[in-house]
Structure 1
Amino acid sequence: RAAANFAATALFHHDPGALSARFVQERLHRLGSLPPEARYPVGGWARLVERLAGHARGLGVAVETGARVDTRTLGELARTGPVVVATSLPAARVLLDDASLTWESGRTVLVDLALRTRRGDAFVVSDLDAPGWLERFTAQDPGLAPAGEQLLQGQFPVGPDGRKAEGTARAGELLDLGFPGWRERTTWRTEALADGRTGAVDRPGTTWRDRPSVIRGDGVFLAGDQVAAPGLLSEVSFTSGLEAGLLAVRVRGTGRSYGARGGLDQA
Structure 2
Amino acid sequence: MKRFYSLLGVIYLVSTSFYTSSDSKNLSKENKTVSRVETVIKEKSISLENEVSSTEKLYNSIPFASDQILNFSIFAKALLGFENLKKAGKLSEDAHILTVCDFSLSSNKKRMWVFDLKDKKVLFNSLVAHGKNTGDEFAENFSNTESSLQSSLGFYVTDVTYNGDNGYSLKLLGMDKGYNDAALQRAVVMHGADYVSEEFAATHKRIGRSWGCPAVPRALAEPIINTIKGRNCLFIYYPDSKYLTSSQWLKV
Q: TM-score, normalised by structure 2?
A: 0.21
Using CA pairs under 8 Å that are at least 6 residues apart, name the structure with larger relative contact order, 1 or 2.
Answer: 1
- Which structure shows the higher helix fraction? 2
